[in-house]
Amino acid sequence: MRGELDPREALAPSRFVNSDHPDVRDFATSVVRGVQDPRERIGRLFAVVRDRLRYDPYSVSADPPDYLASAIIDGGPTWCVPKAVLLTASLRAAGIPAVLGFSDVRNHLNSAALLELMGTDLFVFHGWSAVYVDGQWRKGSPAFNSELCRRFGVPPLEFDGSRDALLHAADGAGRRHMEYVRERGMFVDLPFDELMATLLDTYGPAMVRGSNMPRPEDPRFGT
């Protein structure tokens, strides 16, 4: 869904953002137990999802079940879209209206191996979450875990819904890092077919792997 979003829809479970799944509910409850303030709930869930799953750009799966929030919780290293799905579902389970958002971004600190595989420094359908707080939608990207941020020389993002927290424009040395070049909108659920079609059209099959396919070695991303 694009355009104006009803916050009430952003509280309901959906196919991929299955916030009513017992594992998702238990996960969210364990993180926000005893916390009533919505911003603190957002901040805790964001930090835990950010660091629970190591970012791995080589883990793009073509299998729909891999994108269920309930399957992502303990699924190991993954990329930005599943991390955003898990965060969005966890927020809904904690009573925070949340949706998925997508942008095309240009990464100026790409690794040589990943750049060769992709054939471009443009990452299409970069995934993030948006929360509805105090009558406004605020965006946060949980993609890069703290350890990876240290490797790239940038501080890990923090997000509690007070302001947008999207990927850094520059690294710690002032070099260009991420450039947002296109907004693809916000969605109540993951637009899986559009996502996969766009990835295949942009990169070909090299970046979209089956669950059991081996991942390339790339020390930059800890693989």
Residue 45's CATH number: 3.10.620.30
Contact (CB, 8 A) for 171 and 153: yes
**Is 212 inside any structural domain?**
no
User: Residue 111: its pLDDT value, please?
Assistant: 78
Please indicate, yes or no, if residue 216 is contained in any of the structural domains. no
**Residue 148 Cα distances to 88, 97, 133, 153, angstroms:** 22, 28, 29, 9
pLDDT at 168: 66
Whether 139 and 124 have beta carbons less than 8 Å apart is answered as no
103 in a structural domain: yes
- Domain annotation covers residue 94: yes
Residue 118 in any domain: the answer is yes
Render the burial of 64-88: b for 16+ CB within 10 Å, e for the rest.
eebbbbbbbbebebbbbbbbbbbbb
* 52 in a structural domain: yes
pLDDT of residue 204: 86
Q: What is the pLDDT of residue 1?
A: 43
How many residues make up the chain in this entry? 223
What is the structure's pLDDT at 107?
76
Residues of the chain with pLDDT under 50: 1-3, 211
Instruction: Provide the token pair at 213.
Output: 């396919």
Q: For residue 211, what pLDDT is reported?
A: 44
Q: Are 197 and 88 in contact (CB under 8 A)?
A: no
| 43-63 residue pLDDT tens | 999 999 999 999 988 889 999
Assess if residue 213 is contained within a domain.
Answer: no
pLDDT given at position 213: 56
Q: Number of structural domains, the chain?
A: 1
Q: Write down the pLDDT at residue 173.
A: 60
**Model confidence, pTM:** 0.91
Q: What is the pLDDT of residue 185?
A: 94
Tokens of 185: 């909108």
150 within a domain of the structure (yes/no): yes
Q: Which domain holds residue 42?
A: 9-205
